[in-house]
Structure formats: structure tokens, C-alpha cells
Amino acid sequence: METNDENWSKLYAKFTHGTLIIDCLESDLKAALGLTGSRKLLPIYGYYRQVMCGDNTTPQPSAFSIESRLKWESWTKLKGLNRKEAIQQWLEHYKSLQLEFPEIFSKMPNANLDTYEPFVAITKQRMLTNDEKKEETKAQHDLTMANNKCECDTLEWLKKEKGGKEGEQIHQLICEIQRKTLAKEKLFGNLEKEWGAKLSKMEDEYKTLQSQLDEKSHYIHSTLQASRPKSAMSPSYQRLVYFFLFILILISSRGRNALQAFLHYFYFLFVSFKSDLSLFSPAPFIQMTFFLKQKLFGHIYRQ
């Protein structure tokens, strides 16, 4: 009976084999799906990134780059999903695509991952040479699966069985997959760093411009406030004083100057309402006082 490690090894080997097939057939699948239908490939990308890199910590791409934005969102929503579950989900999406487009997948050998058995020849060979120790005849390859925390018996088997023809073919296939994966990861990482730096620079420039604009607005507001005359008293209190002065003029002149006083009073009210209520000029109040003095004392002197 196969151990859990052996099951995991086969699962991961199918995943790496499937990624190579998707990479080769990507353009054909996009052409068959069309512009809108191409979104069916987004889960393939998202689960692949989750397996290889874990949770998404990269900055959100620009809204102008629609494809990059959709891929980023497809990866981000898988936060917390472990690698084994991500591989299983990836294989499910692969299977649905393979059933939908059998004519496209038929271009590649062993495209049906349900029937693909990567280690059959190796397992048989191990059973025949169970107690034998094989000498390694070729240099060890730098497989980077361990860096992705996907260590499994697959690597050990391939290192031990390099002498076999079928084992060597599988070994070369996985090495090729790893080389392509590393190249894509490097390219993707460089693009992320480049655009991350550009976005950070644009954000700093925006903050600087916003700060300068705020400073100019504050300066203009302060200048306008300083250029306006200060009020000697509040407008409401000033109008109340006008009203009492108007009554006093009527009483003192015994109604003879009522019309003139009435016109002065409404003129002063008009000026006060037209003026800035927070910065009201005291000039009408001075004029009203002078008018009262003239009419009141002039009337007394005439008496």
C-alpha cells in the first residue's frame, strides 16, 4: 500500500506535468475561449501562484492593466489555502478544461492526468533492485522544489534512479519544468518590483503636490482674512443699536425728521447686510451717531 508521502509525490508530479502542458497550450486555450471566456484560466493561475509562492503579498496592479489585475485578484482570494489543497483544486480546474477541450489537449502526450502515472517504471525498477545500491553517474541537478517546501520522495527517487532510461527522462522533464518556472518567477518578480517602485514614486509625488496645494490654500485664506477690516462689534448688536438710535431720533425731533431718520436707518441696515457679517465695518454706526448728534442737539439749540 502506498504511503502518504508517495501519494503526495504523485500528486505533485502530476501538478508539475500539468503546468508544463498548460504553458504549452495557453495560447490555444485563449483562442478557443475568446476574450470573455479566457477568465476560466484565472483559477489555474491563482492556484499555481498559491502553490509556488503562498499567500499574495504583492501590491495591487494598476486598473489600466486589466489582465494583471484579474490575475492578482484570483490569487489574493486564495489567502490561507495550503499548498496541498491548492494543488488539488488546480488539478480539478485542469480536468474541467481538459474535458471541455479534448482536441486541444490531445496535442500533448499524457495530457489526461487521471491516467498519467509518472513513477510506474521507477517503482518497478526499485522492486527489482531493492537491495542494490546504484552509483550516481551524473552530476546532481539543483532542483528548487525544496525551496517551495514541496520536498517529497519524488526528488529522492529521481536522484537515485538516474541510471534508468525512463527515470532519466522524467528527471529531465521535471528539471525543464523547474527551469521554466524559475524563469517566469524571476520575470514576474522583476516586474512586480519595477511597478511597485513606480507606484511608490507616484504616490510620493502625489503627496508632495497635495501638501504644496494645502500650503497655498492656507496662505491664500490667511491673506484674505488679514486683508479684511475687523469688526468693532457684532453685526446683530450693531443693528440693535441702530434701531434704538432711530427711535431716539424720532422722539427727540418729535416726528419732524421721521422720514429722514427712517431713510438713514434703512440705509445703514442695507450696508450692514451687504457687508461681511464676520468682518463688519463700523462706519455706518459712526455716521448714525453723527446724524443723531446733529438732529438732537440742533433741535435743542433751536428751542
- Dihedral sign, CA of 56, 58, 63, 68? negative
Residue 153: predicted pLDDT: 45
Instruction: Determine the average pLDDT of the residues in 88-100.
Output: 92
Residue 53 carries which side chain, given as an amino acid letter? C
Contacts of residue 296, defined as CB under 8 A and 6 or more positions apart, other chains included, come to: 248, 249, 252, 253
Asked whether residue 3 carries a pLDDT value surpassing 90, the answer given is: no
User: Is residue 120 domain-resident?
Assistant: yes
User: Is residue 206 domain-resident?
Assistant: no
User: Is residue 188 domain-resident?
Assistant: yes
**Could you tell me which of 69, 174, 64, 75 has the C-alpha nearest to residue 118?**
174
Q: Are residues 99 and 20 in the same domain?
A: yes
Triad 108, 110, 116: Cα angle to 5°: 160
Average pLDDT over the chain reads 70
Q: Which of 127, 158, 192 marks a domain boundary?
A: 192
User: Is residue 216 domain-resident?
Assistant: no
Poorest-confidence range of 14-23, 131-140, 184-193? 131-140
User: Is residue 253 domain-resident?
Assistant: yes
Q: Are residues 35 and 146 in the same domain?
A: yes
- Dihedral sign, CA of 42, 43, 44, 45? positive
User: Is residue 204 domain-resident?
Assistant: no
Residue 106 structural domain: 4-192
DSSP secondary structure string for all residues of 36-63: HHGGGGHHHHHHHHHHHH-S--SPPPPT
DSSP state letter for 281:
-
Q: Are residues 162 and 246 in the same domain?
A: no
- What is the domain count for the chain? 2
User: Is residue 212 domain-resident?
Assistant: no
pTM higher than 0.85: no
User: Is residue 214 domain-resident?
Assistant: no
CATH for 153: 1.20.80.10
**Could you tell me which of 4, 92, 2 has the C-alpha nearest to residue 40?**
92
Q: How far apart are CA 173 and CA 177, in angstroms?
A: 6
pLDDT (tens digit, 9 = 90+) per residue, 158-168? 455 555 555 55
Q: Are residues 111 and 186 in the same domain?
A: yes
